[in-house]
Amino acid sequence: MEIIAYGVLVDEEPLLREEFGKAFGDRHELRCLRLFLDKDTVPTASGHEILLSSVNDTLDAAVLRTLAEGGTRMIAQRSTGYNNIDLKAAEDLGLSVARVSFYSPYSVAEFAWTLALAIDRRIVRAALRTRDFDFRLDGLMGRDLHGRTAGVVGTGKIGAAFARIAHGFGMRLLGTDVAENPECLALGMEYVPRERLFAESDLISLHVPLLPDTRHLVDTTTLALMKDDAILVNTGRGGLVDTDALLETLRAGRLGGVGLDVYEEEAGVFFLDKSLEVMTDERLARLMTFNNVLVTSHQAYFTKDAVGQIVETTVANIADHLAGRHGDNTLVRPRAA
């Protein structure tokens, strides 16, 4: 059987092929494609029972219907998030869907801190200057984070890892979530309403999934509560932040800085080389003009450790499907299960 994978990154492919070979030997073949799956590319999946998807693939009802008609029976998503998949449509079509429910939380938590520190200490501006042999310190003054307040929105595995680092910096910890994490409480975290967290925090980091009730949780109202010099970091999902509201806040000269590893309209842009094209997304282009905004292309998870765990789990999900098994990673069971 040939199994097809979409949106496979250059550095990801060797790890995926190695794990695939260990699990299946020469019993199955793996076809890796750089292109993303959507309504235009879905014909390339015809005849493939198993498909490996990425977070930037579009798996809406129409695409899923075409996949089912072409013989696809199982979709293995290579990520924890699955907001790009219409699970109800998949169920109605009798498709099996699995995801990676867990991988290294340190990859994302450490990258969130990378963004926060780069913004606070003006690292990008400083590096660009020194490459031109400009060694002035004008405009590069940061501030100590020790003794200041870190607000953690979402205190699961990644949020807790972020909080441990904040605790190491000597920061006061505020958290908000549907349930309190004992590990965070042991660090001295105080759980407070979301409004209080946004009002009192000097640094806010988002670590919640994108759900109907978390979409645009950072909006005009919450941004208005934030301190004028607060730092906002989003390594979760782009839809957590209302980009228009964020732009208005930045245009007003508020916020000490913003670090975005995700963007609500990133599909069709992130993971691709757009350097020779005109950037038609005016909101993304506008974000890039602010010298206190740092945008990266959804790379927080991208460590050898995390990607290794992702491909290992993905291959295990395939093996489960072939054996007629399902487990904690299964989002939608096949109709026959």
> By three-state DSSP, how is residue 2 classified?
strand
Asked if 30 and 46 count as a contact pair (C-beta separation under 8 A), the reply is no
> Which tokens go with 270?
């992130």
Q: What is the C-alpha to C-alpha distance for residues 274 and 190, in angstroms, rounded to an integer?
A: 43
Strands, sheet with 74-77, edge to edge from the N-terminal-most edge strand: 29-32, 2-5, 50-53, 74-77, 96-98, 330-332
| Residues in a beta bridge with 231 | 203, 257
Q: Which two tokens stand for residue 46?
A: 């015809």
Give ∠ CA 170-171-172 in degrees, rounded to 5: 130
Residue 191 has a CB neighbour count (10 Å cut-off) of: 18
Token pair listed for 262: 């995700």
Residues whose CB falls within 8 Å of the CB of residue 178, separated by 6 or more in sequence, listed in order: none
Which sequence positions are flagged as catalytic?
237, 266, 298
